[in-house]
Homo-oligomer: A and B are copies of this chain.
Amino acid sequence: MINWQNFQENFDTIAVPAKTVLLNEGAVAQRIYFIKKGCLRLWFNNDGKDVTFQFFFENQSVASIESFRNHIPSQFSIETLEPCVLLSVTKERFYAILDKSTALRKEMEDYSFDRLLSYQYLFLSRIKDSPQKRYEQLLKEHPEIFQRVPQHYIASYLGITSVSLSRIRNRKV
Q: Which A positions have Cβ atoms within 8 angstroms of B?
A: 46, 49, 51, 53, 65-66, 69, 109, 112-113, 115-117, 119-120, 122-124, 126-128, 156-157, 159
By the criterion CB–CB under 8 Å, are B69 and A127 in contact? no
Can you list 13 A-B contacts with CB-CB less than 8 angstroms, sorted by A residue number? Answer: A49-B128, A53-B124, A66-B117, A66-B120, A112-B112, A112-B113, A115-B116, A116-B116, A119-B119, A119-B120, A122-B123, A123-B123, A126-B127
Q: Which residues of B contact A65 (CB under 8 A)?
A: 116
By the criterion CB–CB under 8 Å, are A123 and B128 in contact? no
Using known A-B contacts A109-B109, A112-B113, A113-B112, determine if residue A159 contacts B119 with beta carbons closer than 8 Å: no
Residue in A46, A49, A117, A119 with the greatest tally of chain B CB atoms within 10 Å: A119
By the criterion CB–CB under 8 Å, are A127 and B66 in contact? no
By the criterion CB–CB under 8 Å, are B127 and A119 in contact? no
Q: Which residues of B contact A159 (CB under 8 A)?
A: 126-127
